[in-house]
Amino acid sequence: MTKQEAENKIISFRKKLSYHNHNYYVLSKPTISDYDYDMMLKELEALEKEYPEFNDLNSPTLRVGSDKDNTFTQVKHEYPMLSLGNTYNFEELSDFDNRIKKLIGENTPYKYACELKYDGTAISIKYKKGKFFQAITRGDGTQGDDVSENVRTIRSIPLQLQGNNFPDYFEIRGEIIMPHKIFSELNKEREDIGEQTFANPRNAASGSIKMKNSAEVAKRKLDAFLYILLGENLPSDSHIENLNIAKTWGFKISDNKKLANNINEVFDFINYWDKERKNLPYDIDGIVIKVDSKNLQDELGFTGKSPRWAISYKFKAERVASKLISIDYQVGRTGAITPVANLEPIQLAGTTVKRASLHNADIIKELDIRINDTVFVEKGGEIIPKIVAVDKDNRSIFSEPTKYITHCPKCKTKLKREEGEAKHYCPNEFTCPPQIKGKMEHFVSRKAMDINCGEATINALFNAGHLKNISDFYILESKQILELEGFKEKSVANLLESIEQSKKTPFERVLFALGIRFVGSTVAKLLAKNFKTIENIEKASIEELIKVDEIGERIAKSVFSFFRDERNIKIIYNLKNAGLQFKSEKIEGETDILKGKKIVISGTFEKHSRNDLKKMIEQNAGKNTSSVSKSTDYFLAGDKVGPSKLEKVEKFKIPIISENDFLKMINK
């Protein structure tokens, strides 16, 4: 392939990938299978590696982020990032409308753009010649952090615009959000492995966008809605028209907006979304109302920190009073204690609320919540109701501050609290019933062993003494299950079959299923990939564990101590005997022949493409690196090897091998 051909190919792949990406993440209408997308991406990656001269920060291959630590530099905003004045009722909105009329003159026609007020974190993105240039957080409104690398990982934000009618240079602003589904998955995973959870999707979004490692940001699956364009040569005087045009450039611009002819139509929009917002897959906390004409906006200008031409209407978080009857203390599978308030049942946002989480001892102290107190419960955009205040004036003079428990409510073991951790926990891992049952529920869950066994069945089998730990699933007998209420021959056979099938679960999922603290599915995958067998993980020192990218001291210590406990070793022994997978499956053709060897490929080859050669190196446990250094083990040379590379090869005396030598090496 000539250089020109390579460049054309790279450009064409980038275009195609960006087209499919837009269809999937912005329009939600996929036009390619995940597999084909990944294959195309891999091909592009290989070409980019071979021809680094065509590197582009906006290549779709960089959407996965990088492991290198980000440093955020402060950048001054070209247009300050202002906030909006808030209103809470229609009267205040009418006042706003009257102010506008007065300022622009009674006879000047005007319209309002009505939009959803997304509850996330604001971002300002600059585009130069149709390419993503820089993304800055709001900061203090005057200057913010350059988080470009992290924002590039958000799939719904275009890196290359479509069409050609966009200004040479402009800014677009919007809100980075975390949809409910992603938020609950993230919190579940965090809770599951013993990490502190995020209070709401907004905190999760703003926390994620400031993470140092952009590869981690990519995994957070953030999304973004854009809602305002700034610049010199915008296509239209109408704000809403500009948004609609920006949509054709590839931006994610919501259809849930309206051009209102008067304030009454604004009220209609608000009334509609006040009801409808509970059906959205993300949080909104109100409606934003903007004078639509840019000229009028300029004429109206700003007061202090907010524009005169826009205002927000905040939805009232529904708040109701109830009474605190008692506090339960729940014990999770990692032993973490969560206090839960039992309330007098009340109706809130269409559901009956009887319980609310109190999170931890600090929250109880902060609220100073006491038994029999009148409490106020709210459900805003958030999913879980929360106690937001306590009526301290009306409490009995005999009421006493809540004393946080000191011992596990289930097994009576003294609770512990690690420095820097919000939650207390019960250290009695092996005989505290909710911890054992929790571990079993985790073990059978879909992402782990995927055994078709619900909470009630686990409970019944545990109470009957047939399940003492996770390895007992594999010695269950049909008559033991048949004893349980609701089980018949057929359902017993189904459960046993599901247990039998689970023996084929790949190693990485078995490792996740073991329920080691801080080992989520991503960490389990890394451990399986790097150590290959459970014996290797068991033997590994804390230092060896930390050597794996993304595994820090906290995880390493947790893994290390897990394998130093005889009880865990015994469970693993039993699981091994039952036939579970405790080593990474060898994929056909995979060997360890090139283990630890770094190989640089250069030039063109007769029998295989460079991409194929790269795959072969990896299949045989070697590493393909792009530049020659002292630590390179072999230089795999074809025709037309780059002279600068060759110079280095000679300097470092690196063995040169041909395509045939290489194939012989790997027995092909």
Our CB check for ligand IVH shows the closer of 99 and 651 to be 99
| Rounded to 5°, angle at Cα 181 from 179 and 183 | 70
Minimum distance of ligand IVH from residue 21's CB (angstroms)? 24
- Nearest residue to ligand IVH by CB is 122
Our CB check for ligand IVH shows the closer of 60 and 201 to be 201
Nearest alpha carbon to residue 154 among 64, 222, 99: 222
> Is 117 designated active site?
yes
**If 0-12 CB within 10 Å is exposed, 13-18 middle and 19+ buried, where does residue 239 land?**
buried
Minimum distance of ligand IVH from residue 80's CB (angstroms)? 9
Minimum distance of ligand IVH from residue 222's CB (angstroms)? 15
β-pairing, 121-128 with 131-137?
antiparallel
Our CB check for ligand IVH shows the closer of 40 and 82 to be 82
Residues 574-613, one symbol each (x = binds ligand IVH by CB under 6 A, - = not), give: ----------------------------------------
Minimum distance of ligand IVH from residue 460's CB (angstroms)? 49
Minimum distance of ligand IVH from residue 124's CB (angstroms)? 10
Say if CB 226 and CB 253 are below 8 A apart. yes
Q: Which stretch binds ligand IVH (CB under 6 A): 66-74, 110-118, 375-383, 602-610?
A: 110-118
CA distance 560 to 518: 12
Minimum distance of ligand IVH from residue 171's CB (angstroms)? 12
Minimum distance of ligand IVH from residue 121's CB (angstroms)? 7
CA distance 93 to 91: 5
Our CB check for ligand IVH shows the closer of 144 and 332 to be 144
Cβ neighbors of 172 (< 8 A, separation 6 or more) are 124, 125, 127, 226, 228, 229, 230, 246, 251
Radius of gyration of the chain from Cα atoms? 30
β-pairing, 318-331 with 310-314?
unpaired
Our CB check for ligand IVH shows the closer of 205 and 341 to be 205
Nearest alpha carbon to residue 184 among 276, 277, 283: 283
Say if CB 93 and CB 265 are below 8 A apart. no
Q: Which stretch binds ligand IVH (CB under 6 A): 18-26, 114-122, 447-455, 635-643?
A: 114-122
Minimum distance of ligand IVH from residue 471's CB (angstroms)? 51
Instruction: By CB under 6 A, tell whether 628 contacts ligand IVH.
Output: no
Our CB check for ligand IVH shows the closer of 141 and 163 to be 141
Count interface residues toward ligand IVH (CB under 6 A): 14
CA distance 71 to 97: 44
Which residues partner with 145 through β-bridges?
74
DSSP code, position 647: H
Q: Which stretch binds ligand IVH (CB under 6 A): 111-119, 126-134, 150-158, 613-621?
A: 111-119
Nearest alpha carbon to residue 507 among 475, 523, 522, 529: 529
Tell me which residue has tokens 């947790």. 558
Our CB check for ligand IVH shows the closer of 297 and 334 to be 297
The alpha carbon dihedral of 258, 304, 380, 268 has a sign of negative
Three-state SS string across 377-413, please?
EEECCCCCCEEEEECCCCCCCCCCCCCCCCECCCCCC
Residues 243-282, one symbol each (x = binds ligand IVH by CB under 6 A, - = not), give: ----------------------------------------
Find the helix packing angle between 610-619 and 34-50, rounded to 10°.
100
Minimum distance of ligand IVH from residue 142's CB (angstroms)? 14
DSSP code, position 533: B
CA distance 186 to 205: 11
Say if CB 89 and CB 136 are below 8 A apart. no
Applying CB under 6 A, which of residues 112, 118, 531, 662 lies at the interface with ligand IVH?
118
Our CB check for ligand IVH shows the closer of 83 and 262 to be 83
Minimum distance of ligand IVH from residue 608's CB (angstroms)? 52
Our CB check for ligand IVH shows the closer of 231 and 434 to be 231
Cβ neighbors of 5 (< 8 A, separation 6 or more) are none
Q: How many CB atoms lie within 10 A of CB 635?
A: 22
Say if CB 254 and CB 269 are below 8 A apart. no
DSSP string, 94-117: HHHHHHHHHHH-TTS---EEEEEE
From the list 111, 117, 126, 257, the catalytic residue is: 117
Which residues partner with 321 through β-bridges?
376
Instruction: By CB under 6 A, tell whether 288 contacts ligand IVH.
Output: yes
Residues 63-92, one symbol each (x = binds ligand IVH by CB under 6 A, - = not), give: -------------------xxx--------
Q: Which of residues 189-228 bind ligand IVH (CB under 6 A)?
A: 227-228
Applying CB under 6 A, which of residues 149, 175, 292, 659 lies at the interface with ligand IVH?
175
Minimum distance of ligand IVH from residue 137's CB (angstroms)? 10
Instruction: By CB under 6 A, tell whether 117 contacts ligand IVH.
Output: yes
Minimum distance of ligand IVH from residue 7's CB (angstroms)? 40
Which uninterrupted H or E stretch holds 289?
Answer: strand 284-291
Our CB check for ligand IVH shows the closer of 103 and 542 to be 103
Applying CB under 6 A, which of residues 100, 122, 243, 540 lies at the interface with ligand IVH?
122
Instruction: Give the pair of three-digit tokens for residue 665.
Output: 């090496």
Our CB check for ligand IVH shows the closer of 228 and 537 to be 228
Tell me which residue has tokens 């054992």. 436
Our CB check for ligand IVH shows the closer of 252 and 370 to be 252
Instruction: By CB under 6 A, tell whether 124 contacts ligand IVH.
Output: no
Say if CB 365 and CB 394 are below 8 A apart. no
Instruction: By CB under 6 A, tell whether 61 contacts ligand IVH.
Output: no
Minimum distance of ligand IVH from residue 246's CB (angstroms)? 13
Instruction: Give the pair of three-digit tokens for residue 520.
Output: 């989520």
CA distance 35 to 45: 15
Our CB check for ligand IVH shows the closer of 282 and 518 to be 282
Long-range contacts of 137-140 (CB under 8 A, 24+ apart): 137/209, 137/210, 138/81, 139/74, 139/77, 139/81
CA distance 307 to 99: 13
Applying CB under 6 A, which of residues 48, 50, 97, 115 lies at the interface with ligand IVH?
115
Residues 294-323, one symbol each (x = binds ligand IVH by CB under 6 A, - = not), give: -------------x--x-x-----------
Catalytic positions, written as ranges? 117
Q: Which residues bind ligand IVH (CB under 6 A)?
A: 82-84, 115, 117-118, 122, 175, 227-228, 288, 307, 310, 312
